[in-house]
Structure 1
Amino acid sequence: MPEEEQKRSLFGKIRIAWYNKQTLVHLCRQSQFSGAAMNKSFLIRSCFFLATVAGLAALFYLPYRTVKDKTIASFNAEQLLLTRQAAQGIEDVFAMYDQGLRYLAAHSAVVRLDERGRGILQDFYAIHTPVLLSVARTDNAGDLLFRVSNTSAVTPAVLDQAFAKVRPGPEPAVTDIFCGQTMFAAFTAPVFEGDLPAGNLIFLISFEQLVDKFVGPLKASQTRRTWVINRAGIVLDCPNPDHSGAHIDATTDDVQAAALLAIMKKMARGGEGTGAFTFADPQAGGGPPVLNHVVFMPVTLPGGNSWSLAVATPEHQVLANMTRFRNTWLLVSLVALAVVLTMGLFLIRILTLAGEKKKQQRIEDQLVELMEFTPIGIIVYNMDGILQYANRTAREIWQGSTSAVLDGINVFELIHPDYRNFSINRFKDALRGVTSEPAIIKVQLPGNVEKSIETSTAAIDFAGQRCGVTVIQDVTQRLRVEEEQRRLATAIANTNDSIVITNREGTIQYVNPAFTRITGYTREEALGRNPRVLKSGFHDNAFYANMWNTLLRGEVWEGRLINRKKDGSLYNELASISPVRDATGKITHFVAVKRDITHEVELESHLHQAQKMEAIGTLAGGIAHDFNNILGAIIGFTDLSLLQTPADSPIHDNLLHIRNSGRRAADLIQQILTFSRQAADRQKIPVSMAALLTETLKLLRASLPTTIDIQLHLNEPEGWVMADPVQIQQVIMNLCTNAFHAMSEKGGTLTITLERLPLADCRTAPGKTGTACIEMMVEDTGHGIDEAIIERIFDPFFTTKDPGVGTGMGLSVVHGIITDLDGMITVDSGPEGTCFTVLIPESARPALDVTPAAGEPPTGTESILVVDDERDIRETGRMMLEQLGYRVTVCEDPLQALAMIREDGGRFDLMISDQTMPGMTGTELLAEIRRIRPGLPVILCTGFSEQLTEDSARQLGARRLLMKPVSFRRLAEAVRRVLDESAEESSPAS
Structure 2
Amino acid sequence: MEYPNKKHTGSKSQDNLAAQPDKSENLPEGFNIQCSPEALVRINAEGRHTSYSENLFPVLQMKPTNIVGKNLNEAGYLGSISEDVKQAINLVLVSGQPFSKEFSLQLDNRPNWLSISIYPEPDSKGQTVGVTLIIRNITPQKDLQRQFTERVKRYSLAVEASDFGIWDWEVDSEDMYLSRKWKAQLGYYPDELDNRYSTWMDLIHPDDYNRVKRSFHNFLKSSSLIFESEFRLKHKDGIYRWFKTRAAATRDEHGYANRVLGTNRDITTEKKHQEDLRMLHQAIMQSPVPIVITDLEGYIEFFNPAFCKITGYKKEELVGKKTNIQKSGYHPQSFYQNLWDTITSGNEWVGEFKNRNKNGRVYWELASISSLKDEHGIITNYIKISEEITSFKRLEEDLKRSQKRTRIENQSRNSFMANMSHEIRTPINGIIGFSELLKSGDLTPDQQLRYVDIIEESSRYLLLLIDDIIDISKIEANELKVKKDACSLKATFKELAEQFREMKTDKQKDHIEIRFRKPKLKHHDFIFTDTRRLKQILFNLFDNALKYTESGYVEIGYQLMNQNKIQFYVEDTGMGIPKENLKTIFNRTLRHAHSLKEREGGAGLGLAISDGLVKLLGGSMNVKSAPNKGSIFYFTIPYDKISAPAKAPQKSAKSDYNFEGCTILIAEDVDYNYEYLFEILKETKATVLWAKDGIDALNLYGKNEIDLVLMDIQMPEIDGYEATRTIRQSNEKIPIIAQTAYAMSDEHQKCLDAGCNEVLSKPIKMKALLDTLAKYLK
TM-score tier by shorter-chain length is 0.3 to 0.5
Name the TM-score, length of structure 1 as normaliser: 0.36
- 1 or 2, which has the higher helix percentage? 1
Query: Which of the pair has the greater relative contact order for Cα pairs under 8 Å at 6+ separation?
Result: 1
